[in-house]
């Protein structure tokens, strides 16, 4: 009790001035994602978004929340923070587009032990870029500075999105029919899943670790792993204007084996042809170095397919042509077959 010097919040590890500087730095980034329905700027207690109900007959709101996972460890190791925000947005908006919902707005949460405004602004730069790619507005968020809670220089991210779809246009896979085909839209790498396994393989089995060159490419493992998740929203919204899509699956944790069955009726299964799309050199390097068996590959990683569409066979060629025009690589990767009380709804051939 002898030391009576005045204590401060900053002395305890929370710098309010740094937080205010950070907000000023990200205001133009947030503004770049604005949609006409947004009624407020950042800084209020809540973000206001006016849903134009005259535009819809029976609107249904669709929401999703997600994070980036241990991919953040790569960002810390490589000290590169401008792309993980894209991953954050992608993991949320890709989840709601599979039900036919247009993403409307996005909120983020960033938790850290000590706020470094410049680094945090790089993170938000990526979030804003992801929102622009998805066509949704970044209307708010929370930055929590919690001394002693995170390791020095580390942070965590969470994201939240809300979208809208007409009730009659909700896509849930229930209309899927035997004979339909699966169109796989290419991924550009791991996206944001399987990083715990990938990091273990690289640290334990790859000479040079993250700085080693991926065989068959000119980029390092670090560069390949940190490549941001593709956002498929605008391409799929374009398809939905002209084509019937019976079901869609965002290929995240669980890979093709566990995500495709989520949009299949119980009387259906899918037969996936394994050699129907090219495998990226990154996946092949991980498979070889980790001596991974087939099921581990298809259940842990997207293995080159980021989104799967279930479509009528007679429109598949036109859909692929449209996707090519939208700069998406796509492949017919399988078909829907009858399944009576089958234990597994995905068969690899």
Cα distance between residue 224 and residue 80, in whole Å: 13
Q: How much is the pLDDT for 2?
A: 56
Q: Which of 218, 233, 205, 247 is nearest to 328 (CA)?
A: 233
Residues in the chain: 349
For residue 209, is it left (φ>0), alpha (ψ between -120 and 50) or beta? left
Asked whether the predicted pLDDT for residue 166 surpasses 90, the reply is yes
Whole-number percent of the chain with pLDDT over 90: 84
Q: Which band of pLDDT confidence, cut at 50, 70 and 90, is reported for residue 8?
A: confident
Which residue did the predictor score with more confidence, 116 or 43?
116
Cα distance between residue 347 and residue 349, in whole Å: 6
> With contact defined as beta carbons under 8 Å apart, do 313 and 181 qualify?
yes
Residue 62 class from Cβ within 10 Å (0-12 exposed, 13-18 middle, 19+ buried)? buried
Asked whether the predicted pLDDT for residue 3 surpasses 80, the reply is no
Mean pLDDT of 224-231: 97
Q: How much is the pLDDT for 45?
A: 86
Q: pTM for this structure?
A: 0.94
Cα distance between residue 330 and residue 319, in whole Å: 9
**Region of poorest pLDDT, from 4-13, 38-47, 315-324:** 4-13
| Helix runs in 46-103, H state only | 71-78, 84-97
Half-sphere exposure of 106 (CA within 13 A, CB side): 37
Q: Please state which CATH number belongs to domain 181-348.
A: 3.90.650.10
Q: Which band of pLDDT confidence, cut at 50, 70 and 90, is reported for residue 38?
A: very high
Q: How much is the pLDDT for 16?
A: 81
Write down the mean pLDDT value for the chain. 93
Q: For the chain, where do the domains classified as CATH 3.90.650.10 start and end?
A: 181-348
Q: Which of 232, 226, 224, 231 is nearest to 82 (CA)?
A: 226
Cα distance between residue 8 and residue 196, in whole Å: 39
Cα distance between residue 98 and residue 88, in whole Å: 17
Mean pLDDT of 249-278: 94
Q: How much is the pLDDT for 101?
A: 98
Residue 63's H or E segment, with its range, is strand 59-67
Mean pLDDT of 115-127: 94
**278-314 per-position pLDDT tens digit:** 999 999 999 999 999 999 999 999 999 999 999 999 9
Q: For the chain, where do the domains classified as CATH 3.30.1330.10 start and end?
A: 16-169
**93-108 per-position pLDDT tens digit:** 999 999 999 999 999 9
What is the CA 169 to chain-centroid distance, rounded?
23
Q: How much is the pLDDT for 343?
A: 80
Which residue did the predictor score with more confidence, 267 or 158?
158
Q: How much is the pLDDT for 235?
A: 98
Q: Which residues of 293-302 are buried (b: 16+ CB within 10 A; e: fewer)?
A: eeeebbbbbb
> With contact defined as beta carbons under 8 Å apart, do 333 and 273 qualify?
yes
345 contacts: CB under 8 Å, gap ≥ 6: 260, 261, 264, 268, 269, 270, 339
Q: How much is the pLDDT for 15?
A: 79
- Helix pair 233-240, 117-134: axis angle to 10 deg: 10
> What is the DSSP secondary structure assignment for residue 220, as one 8-state letter?
B
Cα distance between residue 90 and residue 341, in whole Å: 34
Q: How much is the pLDDT for 20?
A: 84
Alpha carbon distances (Å) from 184 to 202, 274, 302: 27, 12, 11
CATH 3.30.1330.10 applies to domain 16-169: yes
Q: Which band of pLDDT confidence, cut at 50, 70 and 90, is reported for residue 1?
A: low
């Amino acid at each position: 009790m002898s030391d009576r010097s005045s204590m401060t919040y900053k002395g305890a590890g929370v710098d309010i001035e740094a937080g205010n500087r950070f907000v000023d730095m990200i205001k133009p980034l947030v503004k770049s994602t604005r949609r006409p329905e947004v009624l407020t700027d950042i800084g209020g207690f809540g973000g206001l978004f006016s849903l134009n109900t005259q535009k819809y007959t029976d609107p249904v709101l669709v929401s999703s929340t997600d994070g980036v996972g241990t991919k953040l460890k790569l960002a810390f190791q490589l000290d590169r923070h401008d792309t993980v925000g894209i991953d954050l947005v992608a993991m949320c908006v890709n989840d709601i587009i599979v039900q036919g919902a247009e993403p409307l707005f996005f909120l983020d949460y960033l938790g850290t032990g000590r706020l470094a405004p410049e680094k945090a602004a790089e993170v938000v730069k990526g979030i804003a870029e992801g929102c622009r790619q998805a066509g949704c507005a970044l209307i708010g968020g929370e930055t929590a500075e919690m001394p002693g809670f995170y390791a020095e220089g580390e942070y965590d991210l969470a994201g939240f999105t809300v979208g809208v779809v007409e009730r009659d246009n909700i896509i849930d896979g229930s209309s899927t029919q035997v004979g339909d085909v699966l169109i796989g839209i290419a991924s550009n790498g791991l996206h944001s899943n399987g990083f715990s396994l990938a990091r273990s393989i690289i640290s334990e089995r790859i000479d040079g670790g993250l700085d080693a060159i991926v065989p068959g490419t000119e980029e390092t493992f670090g560069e390949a792993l940190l490549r941001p998740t593709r956002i498929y929203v605008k391409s799929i919204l374009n398809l939905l204007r002209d084509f019937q899509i019976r079901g869609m699956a965002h290929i995240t944790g669980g890979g093709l084996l566990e995500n495709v069955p989520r949009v299949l009726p119980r009387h259906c299964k899918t037969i996936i042809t394994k050699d129907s799309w090219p495998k990226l050199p990154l996946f092949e390097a991980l498979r070889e170095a980790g001596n991974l068996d087939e099921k581990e590959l298809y259940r842990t990683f997207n293995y080159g397919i980021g989104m799967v569409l279930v479509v009528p066979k007679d429109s598949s060629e036109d859909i692929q042509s449209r996707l090519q025009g939208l700069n998406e690589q796509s492949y017919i990767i399988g078909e829907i077959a009858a399944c009576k009380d089958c234990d597994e709804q995905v068969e690899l051939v």
